[in-house]
Structure formats: C-alpha cells, structure tokens
Amino acid sequence: GESVGLHLPTLSVQEGDNSIINCAYSNSASDYFIWYKQESGKGPQFIIDIRSNMDKRQGQRVTVLLNKTVKHLSLQIAATQPGDSAVYFCAEWDQAGTALIFGKGTTLSVSS
C-alpha cells in the first residue's frame, strides 16, 4: 500500500545549528508533498509544500528538497531555534488525489 515514512523518529540539535529532517515515500505517482509542524496538543501547522515538477523550494529559514528518483523528501531548517522544537510530519496526497496521508513524524528537540 501507499505510505509515507520518516527515517528517524527523533532529532536533537543545538540552537543555531541547521536541521535536516528526512522522509521517504512509496507512491511514485504522488505529485504534491507538504511538511507540517505539530506542537504538543495542537493541530498540524503548514510549513512548506512542493510539487513533483520541482526539486527544491525555499521559504523563510526552511527549504524542502524532493528527489523523485529515490522517492525522498527532506526539510531543512536553518539556524534552528528553540521554538522549532516540535514534531514534523511529511504528508502526500494519496493515489486518488483525494486525501492527505501523513508519515510517522520526527520529533525535533532544540537545546539552547
């Protein structure tokens, strides 16, 4: 079946470091991917998205990279701050394009 997963369940970094969170997806037909940030007890918050016709997209302090050859997605956070501590999920639209499927999540912990 289709699934979206993450390589590491947890990532710990020092404040100011760059963080890289990875995600592998299985549905080669997926054409739209989104990264979400979820703080404890809250709903997911949109960070950045990317379509399959792109391999890189930049936002404010965040960059998403898409490698369709190996079906790999990554989120890079520059100059990580304590406020970035949260669980990060990648998500993709399912094959039918009717629902957003979430990966397992990576917990990012930023220490001062």
Partner 1 sequence: GAVVSQHPSRVICKSGTSVKIECRSLDFQATTMFWYRQFPKKSLMLMATSNEGSKATYEQGVEKDKFLINHASLTLSTLTVTSAHPEDSSFYICSASLDSSGNTIYFGEGSWLTVV
Q: Give the residues lining the site for partner 1 (CB under 8 A).
A: 32, 34, 36, 41-46, 49, 89, 93, 97-105
Sequence-ordered list of residues with C-beta below 8 angstroms from that of 54, at least 6 positions apart, any chain? 66
CB atoms within 10 A of CB 103: 23
Nearer to partner 1, 54 or 99 (CB): 99
3-state helix, strand, coil in the chain (%, to 5): 5, 55, 45
Residue 9 CB, nearest approach to partner 1 (Å): 9
Nearer to partner 1, 4 or 77 (CB): 4
Nearer to partner 1, 80 or 88 (CB): 88
Nearer to partner 1, 25 or 89 (CB): 89
- Residue 42, both tokens: 């809250």
Residue 87 CB, nearest approach to partner 1 (Å): 8
Residue 44 CB, nearest approach to partner 1 (Å): 5
Distance CA(76)–CA(21), nearest Å, equals 6
CB atoms within 10 A of CB 77: 24
Residue 16 CB, nearest approach to partner 1 (Å): 27
